[in-house]
Amino acid sequence: MSNESRLQLLLLIIGAALISPLFYLGDGGLLSELTFYILLVFGIIALGYETTRQSVTGLKPSFVLTTTGLLFIVTIPHGIFIDTEIYRNIWDGLIQGQGENPYQYIPMSEAWMGMRGHEVYDLLQHPQFYSASSPVEMVLHRFITWADPLIGLNGLIIVYKLISFMISLSIIWMVIKLSGNPAEVKAPILLLAWNPLLLLMISGQGSLENLAILGVLAIIYFWDHHQQEVLPMVWGVALHLSFIPWLFLPWLIRKVRWTYLLIAIGTWIVWWMPFFNLDIFTNYISGLLSYHLYPAASVSPGYLIAAFFGWIYSGSEQWFLSGVLVLVVFLMIFKSKQVHQLDIEHVIPSILVASLLLWAILPSYAAALLGLMISLSVLHERYYSWATLLSLTIVLQIIALRLDDWSWIMAAGSVILVGTAFTYSWKYHTVPEVKEANL
């Protein structure tokens, strides 16, 4: 079978895995759910095996983007069965439409009693939490929900899915640009483009979590393309979307100019101006901590720690672990060479390690962190295994949501998968050095 035929067959397999939730999730019973899990696992393994074969030739970017669009169409009819964040996003937009500040009260507050008649209120998963959306995301929520009277809730969900998919295409485009040969990219780019993480867990659910991935990749892109006049402003926007740009702020100072720090922080402040006062900012921080430290059913190592040591777990351990994370990142930055040109070979492992440690700390599921690691892993063959093994944690996460009290078993499985990926990439790095020493 030719390489073209194999890729077409692989496209059908991934499409079948993505469309299967329409038939196998819901009230179909255990057997139907097992069928879905098997299809998804088989699709991910087939994707990882086929795209990393040595005989697979380069691909045209147009082929990658077009086929990704075809796969996305399959996810449009999906209901919101994994991540219900979209309902909170719509609520925040509707609150702004009433001229109110969405950070001011929780949805359960009597101040917003009149809004509870909207159908989206009954779909909120945590109405007792303050909003954790950043000001950048809040602006998007406001513009999208402006169309609510015209298209209703189902129409808004489709719009969110379309916007999320456009962000995913931007992520793929940036990775293609960073690959070194934009005219012809290597097949492992499909580990990102056809990956169920972006297509099922993010775009298919209308989530805007991929904005965090786009923010980090935008920093790398503008740095790599020597557009330093744009870099600090992009960095300032990314500070709203992910914790990773905060961790690497010293890199901005040491590798470029320390004055750019003022521009980055200034950009971050400007986006806060329409919403800000001290109480509002406190509510926002409370929302972030509630969502990210709330140990709901998850496959992260942090959830596993909380599950096994629940009798001593208070959440305060996260502050100690966060301090260790910051220390590790600072050591990576200040031990690096003093160069002004971005070295992709150096920045990929640094951000991968920081993302992995952050994912290990949080007891909640962080799709954006996994998406970022997958996006970076397809840029170097040393990390191809990361993309496949991290994608398998998607299946474990869906099962964990079904098992709930037994989700710690899935969390243990994810630790094994991530440990395997880390070990494999470490061996890849050390083996060539041993061979050279023997010569």
Q: Are 13 and 46 in contact (CB under 8 A)?
A: yes
Picking from 258, 273, 164, 167, the residue whose alpha carbon sits closest to that of residue 217 is 167
Q: Residue 438 pLDDT > 60, yes or no?
A: no
Picking from 311, 289, 307, the residue whose alpha carbon sits closest to that of residue 298 is 307
- Cα(67)–Cα(243) distance, integer angstroms: 32
Picking from 156, 137, 407, 391, the residue whose alpha carbon sits closest to that of residue 288 is 137
What is the average pLDDT score of the chain?
Answer: 81
Give the pLDDT of residue 127. 86
Percent of the chain with pLDDT over 70: 82
Give the pLDDT of residue 211. 94
Task: Find which of 55-69, 90-104, 329-343, 345-359 is predicted with most confidence, using mean pLDDT.
Answer: 90-104
Give the pLDDT of residue 409. 85
Give the pLDDT of residue 335. 62
Q: H or E stretch including 31?
A: helix 30-51
Residues in the chain: 439
pLDDT band at 183 (very low <50, low <70, confident <90, very high): confident
If one compares 437 and 212, the residue with the highest pLDDT of the two is 212
Cα Rg of the chain (Å, integer): 22
C-alpha of 198 from chain center: 8
State the average pLDDT over residues 206-225.
89
Give the pLDDT of residue 435. 38
C-alpha of 407 from chain center: 21
Of 16-25, 285-294, 328-337, the one with minimum mean pLDDT is 328-337
Q: Residue 84 pLDDT > 60, yes or no?
A: yes
Residue 93's domain comprises 3-438
Burial of 305 (0-12, 13-18, 19+ CB in 10 A): buried
Measured at the CA of 341, the angle between CA 337 and CA 344, to 5 degrees, comes to 80
Exposure string over 384-410, b if 16+ CB within 10 A, otherwise e = bbbbbbbbbbbbbbbbbbeeeeebbeb
Report the predicted TM-score, pTM, of the whole model to 2 decimal places: 0.87
SS3 assignment, position 439: coil
Q: How many CA atoms lie within 13 Å of 58's alpha carbon, on the beta-carbon side?
A: 10
- Cα(230)–Cα(270) distance, integer angstroms: 16
Q: Are 397 and 410 in contact (CB under 8 A)?
A: yes
If one compares 435 and 197, the residue with the highest pLDDT of the two is 197
- Cα(160)–Cα(151) distance, integer angstroms: 12
Q: Residue 192 pLDDT > 80, yes or no?
A: yes
pLDDT per residue over 252-265, tens digit each?
A: 777 667 788 889 99
Burial of 192 (0-12, 13-18, 19+ CB in 10 A): buried
pLDDT per residue over 301-344, tens digit each?
A: 777 777 766 555 555 555 566 666 667 666 666 665 544 455 56
Amino acid occupying residue 252: L
Q: Are 235 and 219 in contact (CB under 8 A)?
A: yes
Give the pLDDT of residue 437. 37
Q: Considering its fold, how many domains does the chain have in total?
A: 1
